[in-house]
Chains A and B, each alone.
Chain A
Amino acid sequence: MRGSKPQSRRIMSFFTRKMSRRTIMQALIALPALSLFRRLSDADRPNADPDAIVEVNGWILKRSDLA
């Protein structure tokens, strides 16, 4: 419809009225980490060394980064 905003813009407008920009950004940064977490099948093993180096999707990480 002429003059209307796309749905994604309307959703973002709602959030930006309710939340600070910093909060939005922190949430956005957290999203990719969820993706990383899903790819690491043993990330939640109780005996896994939290200091072990893991490589996930090109990231060189400490296992505890994914906890």
Chain B
Amino acid sequence: MIFDSYEAFRAANFTPKLCILGSGPAGITIARKLGAAGIPVVVLEAGSREFSDDSQDFYRGSTVGDPYFDLDITRLRFLGGSSNHWAGWCRVLDKQDFEPKAWAPDTGWPISRADIEPYLNEVHDILELPDFRPDVSISDDIRWVQLIKSPAVRFGEKYADELDKSKNIAVVLNTYATELAGDGRRVTGAKLWSNGQDAGSFTADYFVVCTGGLENSRLLLWSNQRSNGGVVPNAAALGRYWMEHPTFEGGNAILADYGEFEVDATNEAFFSPTLAAMERLKIMNFGIRLIETPYAGIKSLVADLACTAPDMAEWVAYQLSQNLRCAAQLYVAWEQAPQASNRIELSKTDVDHAGVPRIELHWKKSEMEHRTLLEGLRLFGTTLVEKNLGRVRIADWIVNGGDYPTNEELAGHHHMGGTRMGTDVTKSVVDANSKVHGMDNLYIGGSSVFCTSGECNPTTTITALACRLGDHLGKVITV
């Protein structure tokens, strides 16, 4: 069932056991799992079926620290959430991403990769993926890794018919949960805003917050403030340890043989470090994206020249009426070390139309991240030399410790952390089952529970964790 307003939903007299806030990949996946288990679920979606400027305006916010995307363009607020603009790149966090690292404080999850592996078959069906292939060792330090470029499932489009026909799932559009109320043990209700006005309160036995890697923290910070700590009783880490995947062009490469590495349909190959290399260099995980430009003949020569003498190459390329670039470009996306100072706060001056404070995102890259970028490229370059596969040139600003460019990708639009998973209540918000510490009926879905970010795009892991949480809730909830 899909309702266009909260009023229409109320008129239907549907009584859910569980309320999910948000209809992105996590929310829809959990709803489908529970619906299939015969548990009545309501999904409250703040936006409508389509994009609208009015809805996006609720996502405006500000950033303090390093340059970042506008907060109302880096995510989407309508049915399907940010799956409506994701690129479809898929990979699950590595086994090593879940493990604590002595050289990086506050790393390590309370679960392992083995805990989500049983759900990967479901994930493959949901995201329409072929099987992942194992990593290929290039050297003791570097491995070729597969990153599948999937059809980019738009969860709203893909599942709208199924949700509409479901007897156990009600999706209520244009209904924004502005705050949760709680007594320090249980969430007692949600205050709603529907179609531009106060819509009263709603309650269910269980709540799952799946509003996204920025909005989960915002909702819970505001709810906790309004209920004097009654929603997240252990709030020391709430909003903190927020992470992204900084992404920059790291340099160029000349390859000895374009056929040496397996590339995908867009001539790209991906490489990551081994755990031993990370430990030796005391760096975080990273992904190097090598984009081949397989020219032949004179074009190949110009492309090679572009690596060493870009101005001359530009002139020659102009003479040839060709837009040729260095033989291969290297883009690097890397794992940020978790830092409590990278955090989501509530604005003290700016609120949305429903009166909820907007986000003030505090985000800054650390010295370890520059080291990860530089040493990662050196590691890759050294591997190419030792294996005689090619030569790498690292961009000047990286070698010289210059400022990060502001005209590049900046980051991946990957919003992680803020309500991280853990056992220490001073450094985490949810337990290994994604249940908020100290609360009996409040769970969190999505990448805000990530303890560390790894190097890969998060949607595949989000979906796997959502399958796991749906499975868990199906066992906890009795109908």
Judging by beta carbons under 8 Å apart, are B308 and A33 in contact? yes
Judging by beta carbons under 8 Å apart, are B391 and A65 in contact? yes
Judging by beta carbons under 8 Å apart, are B385 and A60 in contact? yes
Interface of A is mostly: helix
Tell me if A58 counts as interface (CB < 8 A to partner B). Answer: yes
Query: Nearest chain-B residue to A63 (Cβ)?
Result: B385
Tell me if B71 counts as interface (CB < 8 A to partner A). Answer: no
Judging by beta carbons under 8 Å apart, are A60 and B394 in contact? yes
Q: If the complex has contacts A21-B298, A29-B305, are A53 and B393 also in contact, measured as CB distance less than 8 A?
A: no
Judging by beta carbons under 8 Å apart, are A25 and B298 in contact? yes
Tell which of B385, B395, B396 touches A53, judged by Cβ atoms closer than 8 Å: B385
Per-residue A-contact encoding for B383-405, CB less than 8 Å = 1, 0 else: 01110000111111011000000
Tell me if B236 counts as interface (CB < 8 A to partner A). Answer: no
Query: Which chain A residues lie closer than 8 Å to B412 at the CB level?
Result: none
Count of A interface residues, CB-CB < 8 Å: 18
The smallest C-beta distance from B438 to any residue of chain A, in angstroms, reads 51
The smallest C-beta distance from A9 to any residue of chain B, in angstroms, reads 10
Per the bound structure, the CA–CA distance linking A32 and B391 in Å amounts to 14
Q: If the complex has contacts A25-B305, A28-B309, A53-B382, are A60 and B298 also in contact, measured as CB distance less than 8 A?
A: no
Query: Which chain A residues lie closer than 8 Å to B386 at the CB level?
Result: 53
Per the bound structure, the CA–CA distance linking A62 and B386 in Å amounts to 8
Query: Which chain A residues lie closer than 8 Å to B275 at the CB level?
Result: none
Per the bound structure, the CA–CA distance linking A33 and B304 in Å amounts to 12
Query: Which chain A residues lie closer than 8 Å to B384 at the CB level?
Result: 60
Query: Nearest chain-B residue to A29 (Cβ)?
Result: B305
Judging by beta carbons under 8 Å apart, are A59 and B316 in contact? no
Query: Which chain A residues lie closer than 8 Å to B395 at the CB level?
Result: 58
Give the residues from 5 to 38 in chain A that come closer than 8 angstroms, CB to CB, to chain B.
Answer: 21-22, 25-26, 28-29, 31-33
The smallest C-beta distance from B15 to any residue of chain A, in angstroms, reads 64
Q: Which 8 A-B pairs have the closest CB atoms?
A: A60-B381, A32-B308, A25-B301, A58-B394, A60-B392, A59-B393, A58-B393, A58-B399
Q: A22-B297, A25-B302, A58-B251 are known contacts; what are 6 more A-B pairs with Cβ within 8 Å?
A: A32-B309, A33-B308, A59-B391, A59-B392, A60-B392, A61-B391
Interface of B is mostly: helix
Judging by beta carbons under 8 Å apart, are A55 and B301 in contact? no
Query: Which chain A residues lie closer than 8 Å to B392 at the CB level?
Result: 59-60
Query: Which chain B residues lie closer than 8 Å to A62 at the CB level?
Result: 385
Tell which of A28, A58, A59, A65 touches B305, judged by Cβ atoms closer than 8 Å: A28
Per the bound structure, the CA–CA distance linking A58 and B252 in Å amounts to 10
Judging by beta carbons under 8 Å apart, are B312 and A28 in contact? yes
Give the residues from 273 to 313 in chain B that come closer than 8 angstroms, CB to CB, to chain A.
Answer: 297-298, 301-302, 304-305, 308-309, 312
* CB pairs A–B below 8 angstroms (22 shown): A21-B298, A22-B297, A25-B305, A26-B301, A28-B309, A28-B316, A29-B308, A53-B385, A55-B378, A58-B396, A58-B398, A59-B391, A59-B393, A59-B394, A60-B377, A60-B378, A60-B382, A60-B385, A60-B391, A61-B391, A62-B385, A65-B391
Tell which of A22, A26, A61 touches B385, judged by Cβ atoms closer than 8 Å: A61
Interface centre among A22, A31, A32, A58, by most chain B C-beta atoms within 10 angstroms, is A58
Per-residue A-contact encoding for B349-393, CB less than 8 Å = 1, 0 else: 000000000000000000000000000011001101110000111
Query: Which chain A residues lie closer than 8 Å to B316 at the CB level?
Result: 25, 28
The smallest C-beta distance from B375 to any residue of chain A, in angstroms, reads 12
